[in-house]
Amino acid sequence: MKRFLATFFLTAGLVTLAAGQASAAYCEARGTTGASGWGRSSSSGQAKRMALRQCAVRTPRRGYCRITYCS
């Protein structure tokens, strides 16, 4: 639970910082168990990594995440 909260607040902080910048990419990821994550950044690669990282935190072992949407 502590790990989840720490990741949540860290991600929220990064999103808040990125909101001031021009955001050019938004990505969503879905896991095999229904978990999800999203990322927004001026770099599409960074947005993908953020989405996958958020999804991975919520996915149990032996599950995997993949990018389902990017713009």
Q: Could you read off the pLDDT of 11-69 as tens digits, one per residue?
A: 766 666 555 555 589 999 999 999 999 999 999 999 999 999 999 999 988 889 999 99
Residue type at 12? Answer: A
Q: How many CB atoms are closer than 10 A to CB 29?
A: 27
The pTM for the full model equals 0.65
Cross-strand bridge partners of residue 25: 41
Q: How far apart are CA 36 and CA 55, in angstroms?
A: 5
Is the predicted pLDDT of residue 4 greater than 90, yes or no?
no
CA distances from 57 to 11, 30, 31, 60 (A): 12, 12, 10, 8
